[in-house]
Amino acid sequence: MKGLVKYMSNEKTYRINDVCKELGISVHTIQKWYQWERYALEDGSAKKHYLPQPQKLMDQRGKPKFWTEAQLKELKKYKDSIVVGRYGKYGKYSNPLHKEDK
């Protein structure tokens, strides 16, 4: 795999394009997952990170992110657990007609 790199302790890691290819999703989708996780943490609906946090190369331009094989497996399980549709897990973000329960 082209994007497969070795980073820290010779562990296999994957760049965002390769993670998305493995999951069958777009880069935009995974970016939204992490953005929505941040929203959930900020508004208190999540107490801790529920997505695996990628490693970042702070010394490189753009701070590229890398996921380990174990993290890739976690993301696969997460993707399979998502309820799809207007009232699914992300309906409140993607469905303008969604009403918050009060």
Q: What is the mean pLDDT of each run of 10 residues along the chain (102 residues)?
A: 50 92 93 91 90 81 84 93 70 54 45
Which residues form the domain of 43? 5-89
Is pTM beyond 0.75? Reply is no
Is 96 within a domain?
no
Domain containing residue 58: CATH number: 1.10.1660.10
Is 74 within a domain?
yes
What's the CA angle centered on 34, arms 81 and 89, to 5 degrees? Answer: 35
Q: What is the pLDDT of residues 35-46, one digit of tens each?
A: 989 998 999 888
Closest CA to 56 of 46, 45, 68, 65: 65
Q: What is the pLDDT of residues 52-64, one digit of tens each?
A: 999 887 666 667 8
Is 94 within a domain?
no
How many domains does one find in the chain?
1
